[in-house]
Amino acid sequence: MVVFTTVGTQEQALDIAHHLVRSRLAACVNILPGVRSVFRWKGKVDDETEFLLMTKTVEANFEAVKDEIRKLHAYELPEILGYPVTFAEKAFAGWIVESSSGAGGDEEDDEGEEEPLERLSE
């Protein structure tokens, strides 16, 4: 699953990203700077430059990821959108599951050749 949110500062983006990865709620958070957002808020149209966070996690973590983002986010109504990942490269999908499960290690998978794509959901 990929969870998107936008924030107003690089500091907040880094705070959220580090928190989610350290707490094993996410395997990875990409931070894309310079995202231009045009939106209607409280009756007027705003035009802001933001940072987009793309969080890679498992579907079972969505509620916890959402809750943590809301706790750390400065916006009154943060964008928190979760999208299921239908397919992913097998090793990458396994890494996401291992890294965002709270129980992992760094052991390599010693199984034989496998399909290159795997459904990424639990």
Q: Identify each DSSP E strand in 71-116 by its residue range.
A: 81-83, 85-89
69 and 80 in contact (C-beta within 8 Å)? yes
Confidence of residue 114 (pLDDT cuts 50, 70, 90): very low
Domains defined for the chain, CATH in brackets: 2-120 (3.30.70.120)
Confidence of residue 7 (pLDDT cuts 50, 70, 90): very high
Single pTM value for the model: 0.83
Tokens of 19: 């928190």
Q: How far apart are CA 44 and CA 24, in angstroms?
A: 38
What is the reported pLDDT for 118? 54
19 and 68 in contact (C-beta within 8 Å)? yes
Integer distance in angstroms from the first to the last C-alpha of the chain? Answer: 10
| pLDDT tens by residue, 68-106 | 999 999 999 999 999 999 999 999 999 999 999 864 444
Q: How far apart are CA 63 and CA 75, in angstroms?
A: 18
